[in-house]
Amino acid sequence: MTAIRASSILPARRDDIELHTADGLRLVGELALPADRDPAATIICLHPLPTHGGMMDSHVFRKAAWRLPALADLAVLRFNTRGTTSVRGTSEGEFDNAVGERYDVAAAIEYAEFAELPNVWLLGWSFGTDLTIKYGCDPAVRGAILLSPPLRFSTETDLAGWAESGKPLTALVPEFDDYLRPDAARERFAAVPQAEVVAMTGAKHLWVGDAENVLDEVVRRVNPAVPVPLPRQWDGPMETGDASAYADRTVASFADRPVPGPVPEAGDEPD
């Protein structure tokens, strides 16, 4: 048995993919599937703010793609929203303050439908949670999980749409989040009766050191047939990934720089 580390890549079928938006852009991404069987469910990853380093390889999503097909029978679809760059490449277009990104979310959901991926869930992180809340309540989507939701671009109308749908909505909220902490999150998400707010003890907005706990909570909801906590060791072939290209982006991904978009409420910091 070998310990599963941050750089561990477990067996899966991995294909580079392209998404095509209704407004004519080509987005780059990857689809990871279980190596030798059909997936039981699917997660579509919507990454943090690209102006602050967010991308399809943001560390929680990279670990999800490298582990969950093997450990939890999940398909993991991740991609760069418009104007976003990672090792996979750069998606066409420009960051559009959660406006044009509606077409990016729709393109990802459409791809999952076309590929006949089962039980589609959205997994948004920070800015990606706003995209999830605003544009993810689609008939093809089973439910959504939100990591560190700042609720910066989302409106009460967006939350009302989820409330009306009845679809499951889980918010994993770090105890020491920089933007929205558990008690405040419970107040904001009270507008969605079925919403579950989970306080993640000791965690912070970037989930550094807490990715395993996040993946356990995701699997608990998306494929409850899989026991959690997930294994921390692997008995089988394993590759090692190179994350050095992002060594300067983990901390900088939410640096205190001005961000276009809605004006934060008093006391808020830019996401």
pLDDT tens per residue across span 75-96? 999 999 999 999 999 999 999 9
pLDDT tens per residue across span 179-201? 999 999 999 999 999 999 999 99
**Total structural domains within the chain:** 1
DSSP line for 222-255: H-TTS-SSPPSEE-S--EE---GGGTTTTTGGG-
Domain assignment present for residue 269? The answer is no
pLDDT tens per residue across span 232-268? 999 999 999 986 766 555 433 333 333 444 433 333 3
**Confidence (pLDDT) at 242:** 80
Within 13 Å and on the Cβ side, how many CA atoms surround 78?
33
Domain assignment present for residue 219? The answer is yes
The 10 Å CB-count burial string (b at 16+, else e) for 67-102 is bbbbbbbbbbbbbbbbbbebebbebbbebbebebbb
Domain assignment present for residue 270? The answer is no
User: Which CATH number covers residue 185?
Assistant: 3.40.50.1820
| 3-state secondary structure at position 221 | helix
Domain assignment present for residue 206? The answer is yes
Domain assignment present for residue 265? The answer is no
The whole domain housing 113 covers: 2-254
- pTM of this structure: 0.91
**Are 223 and 72 in contact, with CB atoms under 8 Å apart?**
yes
Query: Quick one: how far is CA 107 from the chain centroid?
Result: 15
| 3-state secondary structure at position 147 | strand
**Are 146 and 81 in contact, with CB atoms under 8 Å apart?**
no
